[in-house]
Amino acid sequence: MPFNQNGHTVVDESEKVAKSENVMVHRTMTRHTLETLSFDNTYARLPQVFHARLNPTPFSAPPYLVHANPAAAKLIDLDPEQFTRPEFSALFGGSALAPGMEPLAMLYSGHQFGVYVPQLGDGRAILLGEVTNDRGERWDLHLKGAGMTPFSRDGDGRAVLRSTIREYLCCAAMQGLGIPTTQALCLVASEDKVYREQIETGAMVVRMAPSHVRFGMFEVFYYRKQHEHLKTLADYVITHHFPHLRDDGDKYARFFTVVVERTARLIAQWQAVGWAHGVMNTDNMSILGLTLDYGPYGFMDEYDAGFICNHSDHNGRYAFNQQPYIGLWNLSCLAQALVPLVEKTVLKAGLETYQPLFDREYQRQMRAKFGLVDAQPEDDELIRDFMGLLQGSHADYTIVFRELSTFSTVEDATNDRLREHFLSRDQFNEWAARYRDRLRSERSHDDDRRERMNRVNPKYVLRNYLAQTAIEKAQHKDFSEIDRLFTLLQEPFKDQPGMEAYALPPPNWGKHLSVSCSS
């Protein structure tokens, strides 16, 4: 039986169903211990040039568990009761191996800030191996902060507690928001010191995804003119992750089309929730359309279309409003790398589907945020004008959208609480009149709409300052705030009693925290 973080036993959903219907069905659910969890590594069987085989470098001080994620454990049928065992921290903190793991660092290259870098690769992460669950789904387990690899360049191969907490919590937040992401199984730290701008605590995070293959993996073989490896990689990805295309005569072209589609959809979701990745280099782009490589990301507090979350991004290449375009730019790098496998004209046609796909998905998401059911030609302008008002008023993105659900369409409603977020009351009133007419045109019912909107406009997001508070406490060995945020962010759309403070705008100290790549 699973247990929650406070140690109380909770009944698994499937058991509840069985009990309430009083049906004598014995559903066998595999619950692995560390000893019965079995690993494989299909990536290790690819040609040698794809990777460097090596084990994690253990910390010199023993690793200890900071937090672990029962939902992620469930994906690999691992019993969360295993979390408290020292063997768990050892295995997922780089100090022990399990049979079948075959750890390796993956090779890739990529375009960083628009410039091609011929060799990158996992410089501090190690693919431990894959676990196949009861449902036949494969999960890569990737240990970030696992020590130097042949791809470390000038780096030390380590990650710090600060950045691993940010990655761990944001994976949970994205998952809660329904945005495709790598998952994080656990966060393990050690007394070992790691040198950044200051001395910090070393830590490792285990992330999980069906695959960690990046755009940059295709690029490395294209630019090295190793086209046979490029084909091997494409076949590997198609076989394992797009099996429906395996026997398709145009499988490489169709594969590219799917990647375009998933990327467009992913970025539309980022835009709708007000999230910036911060380092959208092609080596940080997942071939499965997952949010990957959490660094200096940020959820917006005050709405600013030009929001730059990465302190090192001086030119704003990865500013919030550039992300849709950068998605396309990155896809065109992938297209270039696929030239040996697919006709150029076909790739070009694939790229041309991106913008309409993105627009359609973004508009769909935004209409839902505004509680609109039909699509009308004037919606675009209505939405754009609202964003302009938000920007001009420095209004809080998350709070205002949540508040928008309280909008009343009754004749003389002033919508005072919402109006207070805007500097110009006249402009707000003018917009509100248009919104009211638009809602009335589709006979929108205030209560129904409120309920619908609250399912798409989160109340809680991982604001930078919230993560920062958890980090500061963790640096004093108090992990309670990590646990609190982790629990909170799993249900970001639900009003959670006693958690009102977490839905407020940041205090002054937390408004413009600087986050850079040095993690």
Chain contacts with Mg ion (rule: CB under 5 A): 284, 293
**Which one of Mg ion, ligand AMP, none interacts with residue 123, CB within 5 to 8 A by kind?**
ligand AMP
Q: Which of residues 284-343 bind ligand AMP (CB under 6 A)?
A: 284, 293, 295
202 forms part of the interface with ligand AMP (CB under 6 A): no
Q: Which of residues 117-146 bind ligand AMP (CB under 6 A)?
A: 120-124
Cβ-based nearer residue to Mg ion, 62 or 123: 123
Residue closest to 111 by CA, chosen among 336, 288, 307, 268: 336
**Which one of ligand AMP, Mg ion, none interacts with residue 304, CB within 5 to 8 A by kind?**
none
Cβ-based nearer residue to ligand AMP, 295 or 327: 295
156 forms part of the interface with ligand AMP (CB under 6 A): yes
Place of tokens 């045109």: 441
C-beta of residue 297 within 8 angstroms of C-beta of residue 276: yes
What is the distance between the alpha carbons of residues 202 and 247, in angstroms, rounded to a whole number? 46
Q: Which x/- pattern over 228-267 shows residues binding ligand AMP (rule: CB under 6 A)?
A: ----------------------------------------
Cβ-based nearer residue to Mg ion, 219 or 293: 293
**Which one of Mg ion, ligand AMP, none interacts with residue 158, CB within 5 to 8 A by kind?**
ligand AMP
Place of tokens 């690993």: 39
219 forms part of the interface with ligand AMP (CB under 6 A): no
3-class secondary structure, 517: coil
Q: Which of residues 360-389 bind ligand AMP (CB under 6 A)?
A: none
Please calculate the CA angle 41-2-498 and round it to the nearest 5 degrees.
115
70 forms part of the interface with ligand AMP (CB under 6 A): no
Minimum Å distance from CB 49 to ligand AMP? 16
What is the distance between the alpha carbons of residues 36 and 78, in angstroms, rounded to a whole number? 9
- CA 245 vs. chain centroid, Å, equals 26
* Residue 55: count of CB within 10 angstroms of its CB: 16
Cβ-based nearer residue to ligand AMP, 89 or 282: 282
99 forms part of the interface with ligand AMP (CB under 6 A): no
279 forms part of the interface with ligand AMP (CB under 6 A): yes
Minimum Å distance from CB 143 to ligand AMP? 12
C-beta of residue 397 within 8 angstroms of C-beta of residue 274: yes
Minimum Å distance from CB 284 to ligand AMP? 5
**Which one of Mg ion, ligand AMP, none interacts with residue 274, CB within 5 to 8 A by kind?**
none
**Which one of Mg ion, ligand AMP, none interacts with residue 124, CB within 5 to 8 A by kind?**
ligand AMP
Cβ-based nearer residue to ligand AMP, 118 or 356: 118
**Which one of ligand AMP, Mg ion, none interacts with residue 157, CB within 5 to 8 A by kind?**
ligand AMP
203 forms part of the interface with ligand AMP (CB under 6 A): no
C-beta of residue 278 within 8 angstroms of C-beta of residue 287: no
What is the distance between the alpha carbons of residues 516 and 279, in angstroms, rounded to a whole number? 10
Query: Angle of helix 354-369 relative to helix 251-273, nearest 10 degrees?
Result: 30
- Beta-carbon contacts of 321 under 8 Å, excluding residues fewer than 6 positions away, are 305, 306, 307
C-beta of residue 232 within 8 angstroms of C-beta of residue 47: yes
Contact region for ligand AMP (CB under 6 A) — 149-157, 176-184, 243-251, 428-436? 149-157
* Residue 441: count of CB within 10 angstroms of its CB: 12
What is the distance between the alpha carbons of residues 430 and 184, in angstroms, rounded to a whole number? 45
Minimum Å distance from CB 310 to ligand AMP? 10
DSSP 399: H
Q: Is 446 a catalytic residue?
A: no
Residue 364 identity (one-letter amino acid): R
From 283, 293, 301, 313, active-site residue: 283
Backbone angles phi, psi at 62, to 5 degrees: -60, 140
What is the distance between the alpha carbons of residues 473 and 481, in angstroms, rounded to a whole number? 7
Binding site for ligand AMP (CB under 6 A): 120-124, 151-152, 155-158, 279, 284, 293, 295, 517
Q: Which residues are catalytic?
A: 283
